[in-house]
């Protein structure tokens, strides 16, 4: 069982302006094995569309000392959502890997100027790899790669740019897809192609559509990985994206289709008004498959419309069983991951359309209870391309959480201590059984949207929540897009 630390001081900010600090996505832990070093990006930018010439520093916060940020390198291959895919390598965590731009020597698979770099923190040795990385195997010996130039066209929030012009890629080629990398030998091979995927239980909507892959995640024992296969006839409108969830062995064999969200798209009709689409309608769609991540070697959690019911679902990769998580309580899409011991599910929400607040919470599946950790206001002037999601991630021990947020008016990283078991029992819990006593699901939803905190929350958590909500980001006009 995870031992929780008491939230004595609320969210602790790492680094100070005027530069912004962020880690990126929810699927990787920024902490090293010792818990003393935390990876981060630093850039003078706070917002705006990236051109490919914008530089982000790669560095480490020293959590055992004065908390200073030490820059180690820099990159021009990054985005606001996932950064440069910065991550630790292997169980020792003395090497890091991240993507960088290399105009003089484009990668030999995709022909794009993006390649990964490994940096040894003990020796200072840096080594450039042939391909860019999406995710490294937990054992540190391999990785998986995708085409970021394709993503710049299909899904710009997670693509890389090298100028104002974005090339239109082939729709469904046989020579693009997922590549497997051997990090020690710098060898690579294609293991899954778009043409191959399109021939697996093909759907009529795949014809004349452009295809891409995202959310590639490797299980803890480095034996299997999951990914989302996506396609669309209109890349300009995310609500026209269609999705399928796959798993397979790390060599591409034993490919299993776990979920498909293909559905009619009235948005493609000439009479459809694209201005009716809200900023987060895509993430809140009842057809969305998003944010899959492994719980353990056999189970993975994902936001999906399984059997016509949208919500958090836990899929068993071996026997294909599916179980709904938090029915009646967890009814909003978020960026989720399980604690290292598998008990607590950590997640967040997208901004409330009225208040701009994002909720950060834990779910105890055994007790069917939800613990609200706080609400954090976003900047309403941020666009899709430069938004700042909380993207909560665990440390290796499961007793701390790290988020990115703009509630202080600047893009920054925050560390939050987990509540102790006694506090989690006494304060702030809402279980499925408790909802009736709190006025039913609708009232609970209104309370969460309003940002009000349950009266029994510990003082530090109550203070942290109030602080996060008071510091609304300034309403500056968008720039640089």
Residue 468 predicted with pLDDT over 60: no
Could you read off the pLDDT of 100-117 as tens digits, one per residue? 999 999 999 999 999 999
Question: Does residue 118 lie within any of the structural domains?
Answer: yes
26 in the same domain as 121 = no
126 in the same domain as 24 = no
367 in the same domain as 247 = no
131 in the same domain as 229 = yes
CB-based contact 42:21 (threshold 8 Å):
yes
Question: Does residue 462 lie within any of the structural domains?
Answer: yes
Question: Does residue 275 lie within any of the structural domains?
Answer: no
* pLDDT the model gives residue 260: 97
389 in the same domain as 243 = no
12 in the same domain as 132 = no
Task: Give the number of domains in the chain.
Answer: 2
Question: Does residue 53 lie within any of the structural domains?
Answer: no
13 in the same domain as 156 = no
CB-based contact 153:165 (threshold 8 Å):
no
CB-based contact 26:335 (threshold 8 Å):
yes
The whole-chain average pLDDT of the chain stands at 85
246 in the same domain as 389 = no
Residue 453 predicted with pLDDT over 50: no
Question: Does residue 335 lie within any of the structural domains?
Answer: no
360 in the same domain as 256 = no
Structural domain including 221 reads 77-270+287-299
pTM score, two decimals? 0.85
**HSE value, Cβ hemisphere, 13 Å, CA-based, for 473:** 24
Question: Does residue 185 lie within any of the structural domains?
Answer: yes
Question: Does residue 234 lie within any of the structural domains?
Answer: yes
Could you read off the pLDDT of 347-378 as tens digits, one per residue? 999 999 889 999 999 999 889 999 999 999 99
190 in the same domain as 100 = yes
Question: Does residue 63 lie within any of the structural domains?
Answer: no
| Confidence band, pLDDT 50/70/90 cuts, at residue 394 | very high
């Amino acid at each position: 069982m995870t031992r929780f630390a008491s939230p004595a001081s609320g969210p602790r900010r790492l680094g100070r302006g005027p530069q912004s600090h962020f880690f990126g996505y929810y699927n990787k832990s920024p902490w090293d094995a010792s818990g003393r070093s935390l990876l981060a990006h630093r850039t003078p930018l706070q917002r705006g569309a990236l051109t490919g010439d914008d530089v982000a520093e790669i560095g480490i916060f020293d959590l055992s000392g004065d908390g200073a940020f030490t820059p180690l390198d820099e990159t021009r291959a990054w985005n606001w959502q996932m950064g440069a895919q910065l991550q630790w390598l292997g169980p020792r965590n003395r090497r890091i890997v991240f993507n960088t731009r290399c105009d003089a020597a484009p990668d030999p698979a995709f022909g794009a100027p993006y390649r990964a770099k490994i940096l040894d923190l003990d020796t200072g040795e840096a080594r450039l790899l042939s391909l860019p990385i999406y995710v490294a195997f937990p054992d540190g010996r391999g990785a998986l790669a995708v085409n970021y130039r394709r993503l710049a066209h299909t899904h710009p929030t997670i693509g890389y740019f090298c100028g104002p012009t974005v090339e239109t890629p082939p729709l469904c080629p046989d020579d693009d897809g997922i590549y497997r990398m051997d990090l020690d030998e710098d060898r690579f091979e294609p293991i899954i192609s778009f043409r191959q995927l399109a021939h697996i239980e093909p759907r009529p909507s795949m014809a004349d559509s452009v295809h891409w892959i995202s959310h590639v995640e490797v299980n803890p024992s480095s034996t299997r990985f999951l990914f989302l296969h996506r396609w669309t006839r209109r890349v300009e409108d995310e609500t026209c994206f269609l999705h399928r969830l796959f798993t397979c062995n790390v060599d591409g064999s034993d490919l299993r289709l776990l979920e498909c969200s293909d559905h009619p798209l009235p948005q493609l009709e000439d009479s459809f008004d694209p201005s009716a689409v809200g900023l987060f309608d895509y993430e809140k769609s009842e057809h969305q498959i998003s944010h899959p991540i492994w719980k353990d070697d056999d189970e993975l959690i994902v936001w999906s419309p399984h059997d016509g019911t949208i919500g958090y679902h836990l899929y068993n990769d071996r026997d294909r069983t599916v179980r709904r998580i938090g029915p009646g309580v967890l009814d909003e899409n978020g960026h989720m991951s399980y604690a290292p011991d598998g008990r607590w599910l950590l997640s967040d929400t997208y901004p409330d359309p009225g208040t701009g607040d994002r909720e950060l919470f834990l779910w105890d599946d055994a007790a069917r209870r939800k613990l609200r950790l706080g609400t954090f206001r976003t900047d309403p002037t941020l666009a899709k391309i430069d938004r700042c999601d909380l993207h909560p991630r665990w440390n290796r021990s499961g007793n701390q959480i790290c988020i990115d947020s703009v509630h202080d008016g600047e893009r920054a990283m925050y560390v939050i201590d987990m509540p102790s078991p006694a506090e989690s029992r006494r304060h702030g819990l809402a279980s499925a059984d408790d909802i009736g006593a709190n006025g039913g699901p609708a009232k609970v939803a209104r309370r969460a949207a309003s940002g009000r905190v349950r009266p029994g929350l510990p003082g530090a958590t109550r203070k942290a929540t109030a602080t996060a909500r008071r510091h609304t980001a300034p309403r500056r006009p968008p720039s640089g897009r």
